[in-house]
Chain A
Amino acid sequence: MTNQVNIINLKKICKIFPLEIGGEQQVLFDISFTIQSGEFVAIMGPSGSGKSTCMNIIGALDSATSGTYELYGKDITTLSPDDLATIRNEYIGFVFQNFNLLPKRNILDNVMLPLMYRGIDVNDRIRRAREMLKLVGLENFESYLPTQLSGGMKQRVAIARALSGNPKLILADEPTGSLDSKMGNEILKFFKKLNTDMGITIVIITHEFDIAQYAKRVIHIYDGRITYDGAVPKNETVLLKSQKESHK
């Protein structure tokens, strides 16, 4: 753990949304934590806790209302939408619950997508995408369309796409939400393998404790506040207690 560097550094992040009926709603309150390279973190919380908003900010898909966010030592709190797009392309690989693959593009094209936006030469793109498809065991499916694949295969394509840009961080938002338990476990094992074998930093957003157990650290959010941040407890009671404590 000697060579670890701070990948994510959130300081007092608040997020307030304007409401369509007028007024506003604060969903994150002074969220602060750091994530170091090589970590496997699960951000947990029930529905409406603010974990997805937290993920959007970490993933540079959204900006905080106040507070600062440093990604790899670079303050990205106030960057323009285009600069945030570049940050996402270079530093972050996304894996979504519903895969978010382009349905009319074949698997190879989907995996190459981040590389195309980075301006990488076509031949290098193809070579890199094929390497990633081989890594996720789909090297024989590159000409298939996403609709021709099973849910587990689609998620592996999404992981290959996330890895193709050689990101510092993989952000997975409920990555097993659309899969059966067997497929889900396979995907989680694959994440664990990526983390241990390749040292890739992984942040999983989930509301299930079973999934969080694959991680090394849990950040529990409840009502927009962090109620627990530490090693994965042996059972969920610890997290639920922390939730209860936050009300006091």
Chain B
Amino acid sequence: MTLGDILKESWLSISGNKLRSFLTVLGIIIGVMAVVIMVAVGETVQLSITDQFSSLGTNTIVIRAGAARRGGIRSGNRNTLTIQDAEQIQKLPDVMSITPAQSGSAQVIYGNKNWSTMMLGAHPDYTVIQDIEMTHGTFFDMTAVKNASTYAVIGPDTARELGLPDNPVGEIIRIQNMPFVVIGVMKARGDSSFGSQDDMIIIPITTLKKRLQGSPFPDSVTMVALKIYQDADNAVVTDQISALLRQRHRIKDGDEDDFQITDMKQIMETMDTVTGYLKLLLIAIAAVSLLVGSIGIMNMMLVSVVERTREIGIRKAVGARERIIIIQFLSESVLISFIGSMFGLVFGVGLSQGIGRFILKYNVPFSIWPVILSVSVAVIVGLASGVMPAFRAAKLNPIDSLRYE
């Protein structure tokens, strides 16, 4: 008996009872489809979160002024961080770029257009830390910082909302009624979970502190962001910064920090673990539906053995050995699983792409491993659920089988 004979016999048996075979196949289709969709959705969620964090860079460390929490309330408005702190941190060997920063909202006017947006005071290194590219003009340099120049770098959305010309470099805008020269427009970066990065204005930190805010503490900042070298260890640098700042801020042993260090790598690792568990949970739910599908196959095959008792007797009478009967029944259940898994795969990939495009608004990556996994699991499920019925069929006594009504 050749492989072709086995497949032909299996196909004829399956197609001989179309409705029942269809319902059985449906169980596997739903099971495999669920696995493919759940894996794809899980991966997409994981990837989109990773992407958002990656846009900030895993080698980015952010220091915020104020203790992490005090009596349950974060006291972040204390002016505990200074531009001098940033200058000292820059001297650490692993620090590549650093910027002190402070944000606030700004009312911006251009011509007769009035727009409220986020404003950030920073150093030129901000472009390195945030991987900022320009479409027009340039970012301000350290001379502008030293001189507290009224230069503004704007996001593409801000430029659009203000009705600035296509190349707005050299245009004058008014921020809190102070005229600023637009010296550059940033390249669009899209939205992130931290808000739009395209609707903001960046000006020198000194301009923000001295000119716009007229702060009595012009050197204090709410935040210091820095990027370390790729081969540097985030934890080591974090410890070094912590030690340096505690010493500079004269914090006694046992006292709480008056700053908070956020390590993007650590956050990303935590998010990765959380989304990993989420993915596992989704796969586990999908696996249950695949298991239910496999029980459907076993049920069908067991019924089939009873219904086809006489057929088995005939086959045995004309010379079918037990092994052949086992192979035939196993191949039927595997074929059902295989057909089901193929349809499940097609529907699963199609639906997950649809979910990605229309619901998650994200390109769902097509990875081969759920394909291999679900098809192999389906084939194994088919084999496993066919074993008992196949052996039951093979062990039937030919005489009793031939007499079976």
Contacts and interface: CB of A to CB of B under 8 A. Distances in A.
B is a partner of A: yes
Interface of A: 56, 59, 61-62, 81-82, 85-86, 88-90, 94, 96, 100-102, 104-105, 113-114, 116-119, 122, 161, 165
A79 B317 CA distance: 15
6 contacts: A86-B321, A101-B314, A113-B315, A117-B319, A117-B320, A119-B1
Nearest to A90: B319
A61 B399 contact: yes
Contacts of A88: 316-319
Nearest to A117: B319
Contacts of B13: 104
Given A82-B322, A89-B319, A100 B5 contact: no
A118 B322 CA distance: 14
Nearest to A89: B319
B318 A61 contact: no
B16 A85 contact: no
A138 B13 CA distance: 25
A159 to B, nearest CB: 13
A85 B397 CA distance: 12
B402 A114 contact: no
Residue with the highest number of chain A CB atoms closer than 10 Å, among B4, B314, B324, B399? B314
Tell me what chain B mostly uses at the interface: helix, strand, loop, or mixed: helix
Contacts of A101: 314
Contacts of B2: 119, 122
Contacts of B320: 85, 117
Interface string B321-333: 1111000000000
Interface string B393-405: 0000011001000
A220 B310 CA distance: 29
Which 7 A-B pairs have CB atoms at the shortest separation, nearest pair first?
A89-B319, A117-B319, A114-B318, A82-B321, A104-B16, A85-B321, A100-B314
A117 B399 contact: no
Contact of A116 (B5, B16, B317, B398): B5
B311 interface: yes
A245 to B, nearest CB: 31
Given A116-B5, A117-B1, 15 more contacts: A56-B399, A61-B402, A81-B321, A82-B321, A85-B322, A88-B316, A88-B317, A88-B318, A104-B12, A105-B12, A114-B318, A119-B2, A122-B4, A165-B318, A165-B319
Interface of B: 1-2, 4-5, 12-13, 16, 310-311, 313-324, 398-399, 402
A242 B39 CA distance: 80
Contacts of A86: 319, 321
Q: Would you call the interface of chain A mostly helix, strand, loop, or mixed?
A: helix
Given A61-B398, A102-B311, A119-B1, A113 B318 contact: yes
A97 B322 CA distance: 25
B316 A96 contact: no
A238 B178 CA distance: 134
B402 A85 contact: no
Contacts of B313: 100
A62 B319 CA distance: 14
Contacts of A116: 1, 5
B402 A96 contact: yes
Contacts of B311: 102
B16 to A, nearest CB: 5
Contacts of B314: 100-102, 113
Nearest to A119: B1
A105 B16 CA distance: 9
A116 B1 CA distance: 6
A3 B317 CA distance: 29
Contacts of B322: 81-82, 85
A220 B319 CA distance: 29
B323 A61 contact: no
Nearest to B310: A100
B319 A100 contact: no
B236 to A, nearest CB: 70
Nearest to A55: B399
Contacts of A59: 317
Contacts of A117: 1, 315, 318-321, 324
Q: Which of A82, A88, A116 has the most CB of B within 10 A?
A: A116
A236 B323 CA distance: 46
Given A100-B314, A104-B12, A105-B12, A114 B399 contact: no
Contacts of A161: 318
A88 B398 CA distance: 12
Nearest to B320: A117
B321 A100 contact: no
A100 B317 contact: yes
A89 B318 contact: yes
Contacts of B324: 117
Nearest to A101: B314
A35 to B, nearest CB: 20
A117 to B, nearest CB: 4
B402 to A, nearest CB: 6
A101 B2 CA distance: 22
